Structure 1
Amino acid sequence: MMNCIAVDDEKLVLDLLVDNIQRVPFLRCVARCRNALEAAEVLHRHSVDLIFLDIQMPGLSGLQFLASLPTPPMVIFVTAYQEHAVEGFNLHAVDYLLKPVSFERFLKACNRAQELFNLKAGAGEQPDYFFVYVEYNLEKIHIPSILYIEGMKDYVKVYMEGSARPLITKMSMKAMEEKLAGRRFARIHRSYIVHADKVSSIRRDLVVVGKAELPLSENYRGNLSALLRF
């Protein structure tokens, strides 16, 4: 669980930001602030892992505030001004979101922050799960339970052990590969990623996972061969 604060001088925007934070299972909002000075006071009183920070605020801007912190928490900028993006990333922001922000885009930034948090807290160990947005809900995917993933345009289907139906979420195959990087998953076709440990047999141009027979492309054969040593 990450402790976070939301900082924005517009009440309606701040209300929406806090509402989005409360929808993410691994975030805990410990304070809401209308300006940078309020945020600075909160940082003195609480242990904060992540700040959702506006840029254009009266008094001290979000960029000035972040630059003033000797040991800042992770920061995700949430702003209406794209021209500050380079400066924001130069200050090591985790992400830079442009208002209005869809919840899907918000969640992607939160997942990125969680991955960094877990790497720091766990001495480099990766969590065995991640969250995806399925229709109007957040669904937790346990990585060891994944059988295979099927890509279809802008969406992926995630087939899990013990589940009759796949989870369908809006994500590219490339983004899914990044989620599973460093684990025993191999892309075997432009439309399929398999969990190597779940493969029961390989028949020429087919890979059998459970009851499914998946196509094995010659261009991707080496990915699976490297993991299964065939």
Structure 2
Amino acid sequence: MIAEQNHKLRCIAIDDEPFALQIIADDIRKVPYLDLIDTFASPFEAWEILNTGQVDLLFLDIQMPTLTGIQFVKSLIQPPMVIFTTAYQQYALEGYDLNIVDYLVKPIPFDRFVKATNKAFELYSLRAKEAPEVVPTEVDYIVINADYKKIKLHFSDIVFVEGLKDYVKIYIQNETKPILTRSNLKSMEGKLPNKLFCRVHNSYIVSLEKITAFQKTKLLIGKIEIPVGNRFVDEFEQVYRK
């Protein structure tokens, strides 16, 4: 019954061990009511996306260098639902004191993993029923960290975004110099509304309204030429020609 619900829980996973992180990510993808937004090797990499309020459920390792999972949860002002994933049982009591959803000990059997996510979904559904009905307001901006400060960028000002592994360059209308922020293109794609922006290449997201011309393998924004990747071209054509 749970898997038939329309809403998917938006998830991220944090673990400093690449293999463990991959296992969690694979398990999340198997559950139909979970939507994996991104994975991170350290809590600090996840600060930005957690502060946007776009995450419903956090899968979090406890024993990590510099900052433990427990310390990280305590530092969040409005944490999402949390499921701890750890190789150590001794933190269980302290974890439950933080009102976490569940505490999974590695290696995690998949049926135990599903039981924990069922609890998260039921809790989310219960909170949704109890929450007062509000009229949603459409946000027309994102907030990013750059130059040691938070910068508010309106969607209408963003021309295109270029991915550079662990960083992205955000090109702004009427500005010659792009804004550089620590993030990745997949994370940025999740923050930008798909009715206004489209991923056209492994390295580029563009504002649809800023496009001035389009050919099969490239598009133009004024005099700027941006490649269109083969695996993105069909979806882009459908969106662009609407």
**Which TM class, normalised by the smaller chain length?**
0.5 to 0.7
Contact 1:31–1:42 (Cα < 8 Å) also in 2 = no
**Cα distance, 1:45 vs. partner?**
4.2
Residue aligned with 2:58, SS: strand
Equivalent in the alignment of 2:128: 121
Stretches of structure 1 that go unaligned for 5 or more consecutive residues are 125-230
Amino acid at match of 1:84: Y
Q: Which residue of 2 aligns with 1:16?
A: 23
Counterpart secondary structure, 1:110: helix
Residue 34 of structure 1 pairs with residue 46 of structure 2: no
What is the aligned partner in structure 1 of residue 114 from structure 2? 107
Out of 76, 85, 88, the position equivalent to 1:81 is 88
**CA deviation vs aligned residue, 1:193-224 (integer Å, no higher than 9, x gap):** xxxxxxxxxxxxxxxxxxxxxxxxxxxxxxxx
Aligned partners of 2:51 and 2:74: how far apart in 1?
Answer: 16
- What is the distance in 1 between the residues matched to 2:89 and 2:46? 23
CA distance in 2 between partners of 1:17 and 1:28 (Å): 12
* Structure 2 residues not aligned, in runs of 5+: 1-7, 132-242
Q: Tell me how far apart the structure 1 counterparts of residues 81 and 51 of structure 2 sit (CA, whole Å).
A: 16
Residue in structure 2 matching 1:61, options 68, 71, 76: 68
Which position in structure 2 is the counterpart of 1:178? none
Q: CA deviation at 1:40?
A: 1.4
Give the alignment's Cα RMSD to 1 decimal: 1.2
Contact 1:75 1:95 in 2 (8 A): yes
Q: How far is the alpha carbon of 1:44 from its aligned partner?
A: 2.6
Quote the sequence identity (%). 51
Letter aligned with residue 117 of structure 1:
Y
Of 38, 52, 77, the residue aligned with 1:70 is 77
**What's the counterpart of residue 190 of structure 1?**
none
In 2, Cα distance between equivalents of 1:46 and 1:121 = 15
| Distance in 2 of aligned mates of 1:71 and 1:43 | 9
Counterpart-to-counterpart distance in 2, 1:116 and 1:19? 23
**Greater C-alpha Rg:** 1
Quote how far apart the aligned CAs of 1:85 are. 0.4
TM-score, normalised to structure 2's length?
0.50
SS in 1 for 2:130: coil
The aligned residue for residue 3 of structure 1 is 10
Q: Deviations over 1:8-29 (max 9, x none)?
A: 0000110010000000000001
Distance 1:37 1:46 in 2: 16
Paired with 2:25 and 2:129, the residues of 1 have a C-alpha distance of 27
Distance (whole Å) between structure 2 residues aligned to residue 65 and residue 104 of structure 1: 27
Aligned 8 A contact 1:76 1:93 in 2: yes
